[in-house]
Amino acid sequence: VGTQPNPSDTAPVALSYELFPPRSPAAAETLWTTIRELETTAPDYVSVTYGASGSNRDTALELIDRLLLETTLRPLAHLTCVGNTPEQLAGVIGQLLDTGVRGILALRGDLSNDASQPVNGSLRYAQDLIELIRRVEQRRSALLCAGKVAVGVAAYPARHPESPSEEHDVEVLLAKQRSGADFAITQVFFDSSQYLDLLSRARRAGVTIPIIPGVMPFTSLRRVKRLGELAGVEPSAELTERLAAADTDIERLRIGVDATVDLANAALDAGAPGIHLYTFNEHQSALEVLDKLALPRHTRAGSLSVANRTQLAS
Ligand code: FAD
């Protein structure tokens, strides 16, 4: 009595993972082990990052191609526009569509350290890239006998480092929706209230597209600090102190997984339509988080978390 129904009890929760193209043959081998492990959880899609200015275009396209040909996974191709002209980008979009990609995450990309402004002639904002994707799609729709391309965008629970305010971020998200975005994935955040605030600000402003929380497993102190710096968000002192004080990798994994699961559950309780896990091309932490979240449709058969394994062993 008096409790609100949990939307995650009724609506199916989407699951996705982020991967990045490998930088060496050894990294590729590790990545493919990860891909095979993640595949067993039947994610809705896996996203593949793309360097700002297209620095890793060939390896990104190669990975996407292999995912389509050799796995059951559906790739969501990240695409950045900074440093690239509309003609160059239209070429890459065409290539992605030809390969069979039907989902693109339209991003500006981070500006390089020596450039505070995008290069002359390149698209300026993610919004411009969404419009370009829709134009290319329209031109080719007569040739493609396939459904509409799903276009995702970035959203920011904590203010984007270059943005004057959270309100401005929401105006930008609304503009992306108007330009044709279908859904958004958030930047890393450490406090569920930041995601909840973004949701309520966005809904008040008229944003109706799903906003999927991007969640990183908090199992590496170095990574937590680094991502916090990049996203311009301070991780909680309690989390960093507990990770720093952990004596063993197993303990660190358990602390990080528990904190991540708490964050993801808080987002789901607030009505998040799915969870997007930043994997860093490693499956162990992501799968531990998933086991504890126990999402319907995405449970690994015979899965046993570290906590359970340790209990059984003792
Ligand atoms: P935009 O939406 O264009 O915003 C960039 C800045 O411009 C913001 O400060 C915004 O407030 C402002 N702005 C936007 N539109 C307007 C406007 N019309 N008028 C005035 N101001 C405006 N980076 C990569 O390089 N490769 C990746 O693969 C990648 N993947 C990512 C995945 C996710 C889920 C997220 C959240 C981020 C990812 N990034 C990636 C990082 C992203 O490129 C950076 O956060 C970048 O700084 C901003 O990208 P954006 O798409 O949000 O840009």
**Ligand 1 midpoint to CA 126 (Å):** 6
The Cα–Cα gap between 41 and 290 comes to 9
The per-residue pLDDT for 296 is 85
| Nearest to 216, CA basis, from 280, 262, 156, 268 | 280
End-to-end CA distance of the chain: 41
List, run by run, the mean pLDDT of 10-residue segments along the chain (314 residues).
Answer: 45 93 96 98 97 87 98 98 93 95 95 62 93 92 70 96 96 98 97 97 98 97 90 90 95 97 97 97 96 88 53 46
Residue from 63, 76, 80, 108 to probe ligand 1 pocket by mutation (most atoms less than 8 Å from CB): 108
Please report, as a single letter, which amino acid is at residue 213.
Answer: P
The Cα–Cα gap between 11 and 65 comes to 31
Give residues (CB < 6 A) around ligand 1: 49-52, 78, 80, 107-110, 125-127, 154, 160, 162-163, 168-169, 172, 175, 185, 187, 214
The per-residue pLDDT for 5 is 45
177 and 189 in contact (C-beta within 8 Å)? no
The per-residue pLDDT for 54 is 77
226 and 206 in contact (C-beta within 8 Å)? no
Burial of 94 (0-12, 13-18, 19+ CB in 10 A): middle
Report the nearest atom of ligand 1 relative to the CA of 111.
47
The residues near 67 (Cβ < 8 Å, ≥ 6 apart) are 35, 46, 48, 73, 75
The per-residue pLDDT for 122 is 83
The per-residue pLDDT for 313 is 45
In eight-state DSSP terms, residue 274 is E
**Ligand 1 midpoint to CA 53 (Å):** 13
